[in-house]
Structure 1
Amino acid sequence: MVKVLVVEDEIRISNLLRLYLEREAYQVDVVDNGKDGLEWALKEDYHLIVLDVLMPFKNGYEILEEVRRIKKTPVVMLSAKCSEEDIKRGKDLGANEFIAKPFSPGMVVSKIKEILLQEM
């Protein structure tokens, strides 16, 4: 079973992503802050991590940087702030995809499927 971690502080968004991902028969864990997100990302083995950029305690860039020191887990970053600089920073740190908010949950799931197919 495919395991996905969603690290997102906006409950409406994390619930929507969980719903769409569970429809694809993925096992989904959701955490709502950067500190817990980093802890879960490092202790569990996920097939993919969905990571919001702006969150309490640790931002998505900090989490991605720490995860990349240890793991190669694919990461999809989400952000309301999507300048070329933001996207470049995410990609330079090792994000597989950078998606602007607001987004279509169906499009996010499609990107996740695409990345997982490449990884397997």
Structure 2
Amino acid sequence: MEYGFGNSSFADCGKNDPNVSEEMEKSFTDLLAEELKLQELVASENKRHADAALLEAKKVSSQYQKEADKCNAGMETCEGAREKAEAALIAERKLSALWEMRARERGWNGSETTNR
């Protein structure tokens, strides 16, 4: 059953009419422009989210760096205290060895113990 279209297809409808063709092209151009605007908005929003995430990451990184700096300072303090304690122990051992040597020179043999 034919509906008066003859051999032309629906896609060819209005192709020969300059007013319809111009309107279709204008409509297509408007749609493309609108699509571009929407893509710009989406890209802008994505950039805003990325910028916010980057800022947050920088803040967190800064906090971790401050904590790491505090930790390193604490480690340096502890290491300094350990080195001082080690030096004091070495000095104390030398002094104890000197006193033991003097005691042995005066006859102490180390076998006597005192029970009090």
TM-score of the pair, normalised by structure 2 = 0.13
TM-score of the pair, normalised by structure 1 = 0.13
Q: Which has the larger radius of gyration?
A: 2
Structure holding more helix per residue: 2
Higher relative contact order (CA 8 A, sep 6+): 1
